[in-house]
Amino acid sequence: MLVGTQALIALALATPIAIWAAWSDMATMKIPNKAVLALAAVFLASGPFLLPWNAYLWGLGILGITLIIGFVLSSIGMVGAGDAKLATAMAPFFVGGDVAVIMFLVAACMIGALILHRIAKGIGPIRRATENWASWSAGRYFPFGLALSAMLVIYLALMGTIGAAV
């Protein structure tokens, strides 16, 4: 499990990519493959230095399992392909984490991101500054990359600051 300094290092490496993915998803309703590959590369390159070897290998296993689940869910139209790929790239960062905490964070970030996105959509200056964003007119679709990115950043920040107490 990433805790303390290891989580803060992962946070520093992953946050710019998470912001890129969230911003791109809101602007275009697409998450760039380069962002997904960059996030996966962060785990692949830093994981052996930040985690015990067995946790790193479990992280790779979680990546593979999430890839399969994401592919199936995307194939039947339950999630977008970009969302499935982003979830796959971020999944190994949660290795060894408390499932209840992670599920709470998933729910909180989904609800929070949806509410904040809808509020921002109604604020004139924000809307004018981002008038070409596809997510404003996506109807019932929502840029889930925003929620996923927030979840990763918040989780790593929590693990880096209060760690195992989470």
Mean pLDDT to the nearest integer, 137-155: 94
- What pLDDT, on the 0 to 100 scale, is given for residue 107? 96
Express each pLDDT in 52-67 by its tens digit: 999 999 999 999 999 9
Phi, psi of 71 (to 5 degrees): -60, -45
Express each pLDDT in 65-79 by its tens digit: 999 999 999 999 999
Q: What angle do CA 16, 22, 28 make, to 5 degrees?
A: 125
Mean pLDDT to the nearest integer, 39-48: 97
pTM beyond 0.85: yes
